[in-house]
Amino acid sequence: MHDELYYQLALTMVPNIGCVQAKILLQHLEPAQIFHAKRSVLEKIEGIGTVRAGAIHSFRDFHKVEEEMRFIEKMKIRPLFITEKDYPRRLLHCYDSPTLLFYKGTANLNAAKIIAVIGTRSHTEYGRQLTEKIVRDLAPLQPLVISGLAFGIDALAHKAALKYGSPTVGVLAHGLDMLYPPEHQTLAREMIRDGGLLTEFRGKVLPDKHHFPTRNRIVAGMTDATIVIETGIKGGSMITAELANGYNKDVFAFPGRITDSKSAGCNQLISSNKAVLLHDAQQLVELMNWEEKKKPARLLQRELFVELNEDEKKIVQLLREKETTGIDELNIRSGLSSSAVAAALLQMELRGIVRSLPGKLYALA
C-alpha cells in the first residue's frame, strides 16, 4: 500500500497533465485511482481525452517518485497537496493553482491577512524607504508578507517583516535543495524560523528563466493585496501585478515621478486602473476593510455615560456579563418589575446603548 504522497507526486510528473488537467481529474478520482483507472475511463473525462489518458496509463517513472519522497523526508519538507486543509486556500480560486506545493517554515499560509510586497531588483532610496515604512506600519495587523526572495524590493520586504515581527514567506522558482540568489542564504534561514520558503518545484529543479513567471502566479494568487513599490515598464513585478488583476485580487502601487524609469511601471498600473494609487498603510487598511472594530472605545463611552438611572445601571451590568440576555432573565435577575425593565430597555435602545435581537434577546450596542 503506497503512501498518498506517492501518487500525488506521480500526478505532477505525468507529461501533458498540468495544473488545470490535474484539477479536472481530481474532481472525479483520488490520485491513486487515477493511476489504476482503465484508459477508457480516463478518456471519457471531459478535458482529458485520448492523449492525456494515454500519458497517465503509460507513466512508468515511479523511480523518480520514490527518489523525490526520499528527498522530501531528508530535507524535512512539508508537501501540501491541493485537497489538503493547510494548502493556501486563496490559491484555490485561481484556475491554474499548483497541484502540489513544497514548504519549509512555520507561518500559516492561510493567515487572516496576506500581502505581497514586490518591486524592482535595482531599487532607489525612495523605494527602500517605502518598503520599510509600509511593512512597519502594517506590522500591528500581523499580515503574512509574501515576496520572491529576489534582490531589491523582495529582500527588503522580507527583512523588514522579520525586523518588525511579521511572518514572511519567500516563493521560489526552483527546488528546496538550493537557493537563488545564493547571497540570501542567511536571510532564508531566518525566514524558515519566522515564516517560510514555498515552491511548486521539486528537488534538483534549477531557477530557469521561465520558472519565474510561473512562480509569480503563486505570489499573486495566495495574497489579499499586492503592493508594487517600484518597477519599470517591464519585469517580474509587472507580470505579478497583471496576474493578480487576472485573479481579481486588489493591486496597489506607489506613484513616482514621471521622469523616473523605476516608477514608470507603477505609474502605468495606476493610470490604466490596474492598481490603486497608494499613499500609506492606513489607506490600504481602510480599502481592504481591515480596520478593527472599536468596541473598547464604545465600552468606555458607556462607562462614562452618567445619564443612566438606577434601573438602567442594573440592566447594563447584567448585559455586560453575557453577549446576549433574554428579557425573562433580565426581569428575574434585576429584581425590577417587568414594566420597569421594558421601559428601561426602550429608553436605552433609543439612545443607542442597547440593541434588541430576535427571540426577545438584548445586548449592549
Tally of domains in the chain? 3
pLDDT-derived band at 361, boundaries 50, 70, 90? confident
Q: Tell me, what's the pLDDT at 297?
A: 44
Mean pLDDT of 249-272: 94
Q: Tell me, what's the pLDDT at 187?
A: 97
DSSP letter string, 20-86: HHHHHHHTT--HHHHHHS-HHHHHTSTTTHHHHHHHHHT---HHHHHHHHHHHHHHT-EEEETTSTT
Q: Tell me, what's the pLDDT at 3?
A: 85
The answer, yes or no, to whether residue 298 has pLDDT greater than 70, is no
Last residue of a domain, one of 287, 313, 340: 287
188 plus 237 within the same structural domain: yes
234 vs 172, which has greater pLDDT? 172
The mean of the pLDDT values for the chain is 91
Least confident of 127-136, 232-241, 298-307: 298-307
Mean pLDDT of 333-347: 83
Q: Tell me, what's the pLDDT at 306?
A: 52
How confident is the model over 151-189, as pLDDT tens digits? 999 999 999 999 999 999 999 999 999 999 999 999 999
245 plus 175 within the same structural domain: yes
How confident is the model over 94-146, as pLDDT tens digits? 989 999 999 999 999 999 999 999 999 999 999 999 999 999 999 999 999 99
Model confidence pTM above 0.85: no
Which region holds residue 142: left if phi is over 0, alpha if psi is between -120 and 50, else beta? left
Residues 213, 239 contacting (CB under 8 angstroms): yes
> Which CATH number fits the domain that encloses residue 326?
1.10.10.10
Q: In terms of residue numbers, what domain contains 227?
A: 103-287
Last residue of a domain, one of 256, 287, 318: 287
Least confident of 123-127, 255-259, 282-286, 301-305: 301-305
Q: Tell me, what's the pLDDT at 337?
A: 82
Least confident of 24-38, 203-217, 282-296: 282-296
Last residue of a domain, one of 267, 287, 307: 287
Backbone angles phi, psi at 257, to 5 degrees: -65, 145
pLDDT-derived band at 328, boundaries 50, 70, 90? confident
Q: Tell me, what's the pLDDT at 20?
A: 93
pLDDT-derived band at 293, boundaries 50, 70, 90? low
Q: Tell me, what's the pLDDT at 2?
A: 56
Is 269 part of any domain? yes
How confident is the model over 8-56, as pLDDT tens digits? 999 999 999 999 999 999 989 999 999 999 999 999 999 999 999 999 9
Is 82 part of any domain? no
Mean pLDDT of 193-222: 95
Is 280 part of any domain? yes
Is 228 part of any domain? yes
How confident is the model over 67-94, as pLDDT tens digits? 999 999 999 999 999 989 899 999 988 9
Angle between helices 4-13 and 62-75 in degrees, nearest 10:
120
174 plus 310 within the same structural domain: no
Q: State the Cα–Cα distance between residues 199 and 100, nearest whole angstrom.
A: 9
> Which CATH number fits the domain that encloses residue 167?
3.40.50.450
Residues 230, 266 contacting (CB under 8 angstroms): yes
37 plus 54 within the same structural domain: yes
Is 91 part of any domain? no
263 plus 156 within the same structural domain: yes
Share of the chain above pLDDT 90, in %: 76
Mean pLDDT of 295-318: 67
C-alpha pair distances (Å), 214 with each of 47, 114, 181, 210, 220: 22, 20, 17, 7, 10
Q: Tell me, what's the pLDDT at 343?
A: 83
Mean pLDDT of 245-273: 94
The answer, yes or no, to whether residue 330 has pLDDT greater than 50, is yes
Least confident of 7-21, 211-225, 277-291, 343-357: 343-357
25 plus 129 within the same structural domain: no
Is 92 part of any domain? no
261 plus 242 within the same structural domain: yes
